[in-house]
């Protein structure tokens, strides 16, 4: 197995390659992006590419080109083999920058001018900051693809990417089981009120004195799923196995096959009739604080809420108040509005089960996510398309 560093060294040795004309033709036909810095002879017309030469002359026409570059923003921690294999089709580079300011400077100095696709991780935001209009405008013109390693891509302004002709992919499906497992853990833990007794035991008081209030069983409870994408649907199956009845609200009603027996209800009905509400929708302008004071008031008193999506889909100040008033009995949270900061009102409340964004934090899932994201990079380099474009760009 090659380390990333070894792979980089090997790929820099191979930075110039002869690209047979027929591969060039296929790539061109599929719209694959070829580096502009070293393209074809200036007298080459599009007709020239459309008409393959007889095989005997192709060799003479082979064009010496450097490989396209792939910019790695973040780390590859697991899928080293899949990552190393990219070096046969692209040169992999990394930024020297350790801050957004430095990254913007590197962009402007032309350090990434040969890059056509960037692989980025959620954590790389610590270096680049958000992929917003300012950053996108500073990216080199050749960079046409951003392969994001994660299901949620709220760190990326997709609208600005579309404007600058940059395609974005995310990692759906591979995250579903691990995130839904975490979600189920939070539902069970919050229903049973386990956090109070866990704290008491760790403080040397066994169950505590007085003992914690009795919890609730999942069996027979109505689980409302807000956002019935891959994770919501996966959760629905798991919750059904625990004896819960499931209902959901989504922008569009799903086919019976996809909804798997969960009842489609309106947004207000979901709030008013669920015993447990699970937030499984992406964060965007429309969903920011979709759950706030007004929505808490519409819920059953004593509801249990879980969130494994993004902190900001729920107004944390409003949640703290709803917990204090008893409108919300308990909550299980994996995500927070200002990670890694956690609202002090949530930390102080023993009825809240808190996990530090661990939804996909398993060896198997992290590996699957990296492999999926690498597949997107490969597909962008080889075919000029992403395997799993984000929803907003699916039709473009
Ligand atoms: O994939 C994502 O978006 C995550 O938040 C992982 O937990």
- Provide the pLDDT confidence category of residue 54 given band limits of 50, 70 and 90: very low
**Tens-place pLDDT, residues 117-134:** 999 999 999 999 999 999
**Tens-place pLDDT, residues 296-340:** 999 999 999 999 999 999 999 999 999 999 999 999 999 999 999
Using a 6 Å cutoff on CB, does residue 189 contact ligand 1?
no
Per-residue pLDDT at 378 exceeds 50:
yes
Q: 386 alpha carbon to ligand 1 midpoint, in Å?
A: 19
Rounded to whole angstroms, the Cα distance separating 33 from 28 reads: 7
Per-residue pLDDT at 239 exceeds 90:
yes
Nearest to 376 by CA among 156, 86, 10, 35: 86
Q: Which residue has better confidence, 32 or 322?
A: 322
Mutate to test the pocket of ligand 1, among 121, 122, 284, 313 (most ligand atoms within 8 A of CB): 122
pLDDT at 63: 52
Atom of ligand 1 at shortest range from CA of 360: 7
Q: 230 alpha carbon to ligand 1 midpoint, in Å?
A: 13
Using a 6 Å cutoff on CB, does residue 174 contact ligand 1?
no
Dihedral pair phi/psi, residue 263, rounded to 5°: -85, 135
Read off the pLDDT of each residue in 168-190 and give the average, rounded to a whole number: 98
Rounded to whole angstroms, the Cα distance separating 240 from 225 reads: 12
Q: What percent of the chain has pLDDT over 70?
A: 84
Q: Which residue has better confidence, 120 or 27?
A: 120
Average pLDDT, the chain: 88
Calculate ∠ Cα 89-155-347, nearest 5°: 130
Read off the pLDDT of each residue in 248-252 and give the average, rounded to a whole number: 96
pLDDT at 396: 75
Q: Which residue has better confidence, 79 or 25?
A: 79
For the chain, strand residue ranges (E) read 16-19, 63-66, 69-73, 91-93, 115-121, 145-149, 167-169, 222-226, 245-249, 263-264, 276-279, 303-307, 328-333, 352-354
| Cα 171 from chain centre | 6
Q: Which residue has better confidence, 6 or 79?
A: 79
Q: Which two tokens stand for residue 120?
A: 């980025």
Read off the pLDDT of each residue in 346-370 and give the average, rounded to a whole number: 98
Burial of 350 (0-12, 13-18, 19+ CB in 10 A): middle
pLDDT at 64: 56
Mutate to test the pocket of ligand 1, among 152, 186, 283, 308 (most ligand atoms within 8 A of CB): 152
What is the value of ipTM here, to two decimals?
0.97
Nearest to 222 by CA among 295, 168, 273, 167: 273
How many CA within 13 A on the CB side of residue 142?
22
Q: Which two tokens stand for residue 117?
A: 């696709």
Q: Whose CA is nearest to atom 5 of ligand 1?
A: 152
CB 268 within 8 A of CB 298: yes
pLDDT at 6: 37
């Amino acid at each position: 197995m090659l380390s990333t560093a070894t792979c980089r060294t090997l790929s820099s040795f191979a930075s110039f390659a002869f690209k047979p004309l027929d591969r060039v033709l296929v790539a061109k036909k599929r719209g694959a992006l070829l580096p502009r810095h070293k393209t074809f002879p200036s007298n080459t017309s599009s007709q020239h590419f459309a008409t393959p030469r007889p095989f005997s002359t192709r060799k003479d026409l082979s064009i010496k080109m450097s490989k396209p570059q792939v910019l790695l923003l973040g780390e590859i921690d697991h899928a080293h083999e899949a990552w190393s294999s990219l070096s046969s089709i692209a040169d992999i580079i990394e930024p020297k920058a350790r801050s957004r300011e430095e990254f913007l400077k590197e962009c402007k100095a032309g350090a990434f001018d040969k890059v056509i696709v960037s692989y980025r991780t959620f954590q790389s935001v610590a270096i680049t900051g958000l992929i917003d209009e300012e950053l996108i405008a500073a990216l080199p013109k050749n960079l046409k693809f951003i392969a994001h390693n994660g299901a949620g891509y709220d760190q990326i302004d997709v609208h600005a990417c579309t404007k600058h002709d940059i395609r974005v992919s995310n990692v759906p499906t591979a995250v579903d089981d691990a995130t839904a497992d975490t979600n189920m853990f939070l539902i069970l833990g919050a229903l049973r009120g386990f956090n109070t007794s866990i704290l008491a035991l760790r403080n040397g008081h066994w169950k505590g004195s007085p003992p914690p209030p009795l919890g609730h069983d999942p069996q027979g409870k109505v689980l409302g799923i807000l956002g019935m994408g891959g994770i919501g649907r996966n959760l629905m199956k798991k919750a059904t196995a625990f004896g819960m009845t499931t209902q959901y609200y989504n922008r569009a009603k799903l086919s019976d096959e996809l909804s798997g027996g969960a009842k489609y209800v309106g947004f207000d009905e979901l709030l008013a009739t669920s015993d447990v509400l699970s937030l499984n929708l992406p964060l965007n302008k429309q969903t920011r604080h979709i759950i706030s004071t007004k929505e808490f008031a519409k819920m059953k008193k004593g509801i249990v809420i879980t969130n494994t999506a993004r902190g900001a889909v729920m107004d944390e100040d409003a949640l703290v108040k709803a917990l204090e008033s008893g409108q919300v009995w308990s909550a299980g949270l994996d995500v927070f509005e200002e990670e890694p900061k956690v609202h002090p009102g949530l930390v102080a409340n023993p009825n809240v089960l808190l996990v530090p964004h661990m939804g996909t934090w398993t060896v198997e899932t992290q590996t699957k996510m990296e492999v999926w994201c690498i597949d997107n990079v490969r597909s962008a380099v080889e075919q000029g398309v992403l395997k799993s474009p984000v929803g907003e760009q699916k039709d473009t």
